[in-house]
């Protein structure tokens, strides 16, 4: 009897361990079934993918990067999300490293509603009806300044080099923003520089360095500093202008005579993505017209979808300084395409920031 009781106890123990193992394996499987999304701060909001979350409650886990150079470095080093959200100018670099798999446009329900100017970007096509990126958002980089503290400035990027505002200006800590502007002011093609031209850009950046309070991608801190008057001008994206105007802060998003920068970003699928079906569901949810409308109204960024703009009044778009057709914007701005010397410019920029 003792042996029998011991056997029963042993059986129950084994059964308990098996149940525990099953529970643990289910938990691991559940975690593995979550879409892993690598994106910019603010783009992880559930409002952008409501239909996805209806079908897959708690089905996405977002990881935030500082900028897409930071994202590229992390993915290249081994971080493996399912979907990432870089900008178009970095697409060729991701592809060159073999990090991506093509996305089948037949599985993208609103592909035909994406503006042709974005669907037809060079380097996007992967052949056989597939693409390397699904464009989702676009916008501008410019100077956001306090109209009560900077009176009637010349509409020029030179404002961020104005010595009278030394210590009260900030710029974006990203190779595809500040160095591009320095190149424009130095009379150099930002996207293809000779070594001598890069030296000119470096010198322009050195002129600016002692005038700045910071190089940053933390737009929340920049907005707070502009609202308090600690900063009078900063390089920002549309969202900062939209946010501060809603708060009643007297700011203007400049249209520099040299041209605003215009960028486009979107979704790429990583080569080793474990949740491909979820990735397609997520992209399709993000391409709902309501998602694009929320992007426009909340951040002042453009959607890649004409159907999203159809839901926003002309009056509201005018306040956001956003045309309903991106081609109108691109006629007067500088589109940030790939930089042939991206790595060299990045090294130069780091050296200048460090005092070199």
Tokens of 273: 């993505």
The values of phi and psi at residue 268, to 5°, are -120, 150
Domain assignment present for residue 107? The answer is yes
Is there a domain that residue 3 lies in?
A: no
Do 119 and 170 fall into the same domain?
A: no
- Do 99 and 223 reside in the same domain of the chain? no
Dihedrals phi, psi of 115, to nearest 5 degrees: -55, 135
Cβ atoms of 83 and 282 within 8 Å: the answer is yes
**pLDDT above 90: residue 25:** no
The beta strand positions in the chain, using DSSP E, are: 35-40, 60-65, 83-84, 100-101, 103-104, 125-127, 130-131, 134-146, 169-172, 212-216, 233-237, 251-253, 261-270, 302-303, 334-335
pLDDT of residue 264: 97
pLDDT of residue 32: 55
In this model, does residue 295 exceed pLDDT 70?
A: yes
DSSP string for residues in 177-244 = THHHHHHHHTT--TTS--HHHHHHHHHHHHHHGGGEEEEE--HHHHHHHHHHTS-SEEEEEHHHHHHH
Cβ 338 vs Cβ 92: under 8 Å: yes
Residues 183 and 113 in one domain: no
Least confident of 2-6, 82-86, 159-163, 199-203: 2-6
> For the CA atoms of the chain, what is the radius of gyration?
24
Say if residue 223 is in the same domain as residue 350.
yes
Q: CA of 169: how far to CAs of 14, 214, 233, 236, 273, in Å?
A: 67, 8, 5, 11, 41
Residue whose token pair is 């998602």? 291
Token pair of 123, please? 């380097």
Q: Is the pLDDT of residue 10 over 90?
A: no
Distance CA(190)–CA(193), nearest Å, equals 7
Please compute the mean of the pLDDT values over residues 15-42 and round it to a whole number.
59
Give residue 239's region: left, alpha or beta (phi > 0; psi -120 to 50): alpha
Give the domain CATH number at 322: 3.40.190.10
| Cα separation, 292 vs 180, whole angstroms | 28
pLDDT at site 8: 31
231-254 pLDDT tens trace? 999 999 999 999 999 999 999 999
pLDDT, position 13? 38
Please report the pLDDT score of residue 33 as a whole number.
84
Is 306 found in the same domain as 255? no
Provide the residue range defining the domain that includes 216.
140-260+338-354
- Residue 28, pLDDT > 90, answer no
Mean local confidence (pLDDT), 274-303: 97
Token pair, residue 197, equals 């031209």
Confidence of residue 29 (pLDDT cuts 50, 70, 90): very low
What digits encode the pLDDT tens for the residues 63-105?
999 888 899 999 999 999 999 999 999 999 999 999 999 999 9
Residue 216 domain flag = yes
Same-domain check for residues 47 and 183? no
Residues 237 and 153 in one domain: yes
pLDDT of residue 300 exceeding 90? yes
My answer on whether 152 and 299 are in the same domain is no
Give the separation between CA 121 and CA 107, rounded to whole angstroms: 20
* Average pLDDT rounded to a whole number, residues 285-289: 98
22: exposed, middle or buried (Cβ count in 10 Å: 0-12, 13-18, 19+): exposed
Question: Are 164 and 266 in a shared domain?
Answer: no
pLDDT score, position 320 = 93
In terms of domains, do 282 and 327 share one?
Answer: yes
Instruction: Give me 249's structure tokens.
Output: 């802060």
Residues 226 and 191 grouped into a single domain: yes
| pLDDT, average across residues 320-326 | 93
Mean pLDDT of 155-168: 98
Model confidence over 168-205: pLDDT tens digits?
A: 999 999 999 999 999 999 999 999 999 999 999 999 99
Residues 217 and 318 grouped into a single domain: no
Mutual orientation of helices 342-353 and 178-185 as an angle, nearest 10°? 90
Is 171 part of any domain? Answer: yes
Q: Read off the pLDDT of each residue in 295-315 and give the average, rounded to a whole number.
A: 96
Model pLDDT, residue 69: 87
Nearest to 339 by CA among 200, 174, 163, 151: 174
* Of the ranges 29-38, 62-71, 155-164, the best mean pLDDT one: 155-164
39: how many CB neighbours lie within 10 A of its CB? 21
Domain count, the chain: 2
Contact, 178 vs 235, CB < 8 A?
Answer: yes
CB 296 within 8 A of CB 312: yes
């Amino acid at each position: 009897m003792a042996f029998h009781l011991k056997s029963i106890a042993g059986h129950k123990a084994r059964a308990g361990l098996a149940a525990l193992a099953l529970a643990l394996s289910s938990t691991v499987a559940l975690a593995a079934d979550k879409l892993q999304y690598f994106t910019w701060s603010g783009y992880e909001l559930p409002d952008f993918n409501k239909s996805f979350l209806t079908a897959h409650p708690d089905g996405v886990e977002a990881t935030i990067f500082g900028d897409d150079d930071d994202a590229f470095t992390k993915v290249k080093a081994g971080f493996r999300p399912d979907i990432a959200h870089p900008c178009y100018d970095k697409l060729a670099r991701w592809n060159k490293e073999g990090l991506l798999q093509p996305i089948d446009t037949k599985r993208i329900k609103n592909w035909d509603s994406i503006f042709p100017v974005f669907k037809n970007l060079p380097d996007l096509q992967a052949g056989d009806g597939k693409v390397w990126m699904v464009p989702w958002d676009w916008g501008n980089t410019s100077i956001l300044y306090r109209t009560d503290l900077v009176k009637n400035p010349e509409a020029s990027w030179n404002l961020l080099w104005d010595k009278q505002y030394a210590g009260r200006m900030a710029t974006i800590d990203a190779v595809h923003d500040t160095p591009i502007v320095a190149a424009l002011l130095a009379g150099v093609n930002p996207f293809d520089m000779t070594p001598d031209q890069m030296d000119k850009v470096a010198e322009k950046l050195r002129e600016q360095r002692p005038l700045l309070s910071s190089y940053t991608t933390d737009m929340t801190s920049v907005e707070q500093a502009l609202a308090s008057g600690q900063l009078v001008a900063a390089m920002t994206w549309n969202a900062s202008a939209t946010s501060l105007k809603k708060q009643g802060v007297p700011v203007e998003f400049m249209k520099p005579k040299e041209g605003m920068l215009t960028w486009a970003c979107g979704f790429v699928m990583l080569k080793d993505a474990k949740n491909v079906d979820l990735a397609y569901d997520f992209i399709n949810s993000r391409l709902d017209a309501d998602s694009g409308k929320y992007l426009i109204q909340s951040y002042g960024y453009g959607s890649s979808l004409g159907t999203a703009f159809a839901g926003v009044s002309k009056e509201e778009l005018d306040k956001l300084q956003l045309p309903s057709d991106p081609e109108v914007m691109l006629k007067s701005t500088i589109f940030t395409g790939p930089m042939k010397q991206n790595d060299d410019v990045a090294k130069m920029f780091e050296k200048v920031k460090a005092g070199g």
